[in-house]
Amino acid sequence: MTLTFRLATPSEAELIHAITQDAWEEYRHVAGSSSAFDETPEQIEKALTNGTFMAVLGLLDGETPVLSVRFTLTDHLYFSRLGVRSAHQGRGYARMALAWMEDFAQKRGVREIHCTVRASVPRNVYLYESMGYRKIDEQTVVKSPDVQLIVWTMAKSI
């Protein structure tokens, strides 16, 4: 089985939404859960159409969509909502997507990639650290009076 990547189109917003919801389901009932759960396919389609962000799909054997990630490209590539469908996690697909984005950025003259990650999700922190990302900032995000999250900005020079 091989995983290939391509840019998504606005017409694939429903698919991006479904992948994200499935990939992040384990966090749905965690205090301060992600705003991804409030997002609609229509919002994703609008953002893709107006260029707020771009998205990548990962296709297993060129057909089965198992991964999505969104990104912006300025003086650096910033990615968010990297998600692999739960049935396909643990196979290295997120690492492959990160490598694809590095190549995409380099071909456009961009030499740094950024992301944000919750410090309370060690497997995500480990993934990024193991791929050469380093913490460059830390913020406390207040989700409610009772819920505060520590969020790291991580970066990698490419």
Q: Assess contact for 55 and 71: CB atoms under 8 A.
A: yes
Residue whose token pair is 């049935």: 87
The tens digit of pLDDT for each residue in 23-78 reads 987 766 565 666 667 799 999 999 999 999 999 999 999 999 999 999 999 999 99
Is the model more confident about 39 or about 143?
39
| Residue 20 main-chain phi, psi, to 5 deg | -60, -45
Q: Are strands 64-73 and 54-60 parallel, antiparallel or unpaired?
A: antiparallel
Q: How confident is the model at residue 11 (pLDDT cuts 50, 70, 90)?
A: very high
- Under DSSP, the state recorded for 30 is S
pLDDT of residue 32: 61
Distance of CA 65 to the CA centre of its chain: 15
Q: Assess contact for 8 and 53: CB atoms under 8 A.
A: no
The tens digit of pLDDT for each residue in 113-135 reads 999 998 988 899 999 999 999 99
Taking alpha carbons only, the member of 88, 96, 81, 98 closest to residue 24 is 81
pLDDT of residue 27: 66
The token duo for 110 is: 């961009």
The Cα diameter of the chain in Å comes to 47
Structural domains in the chain? 3-157 (3.40.630.30)
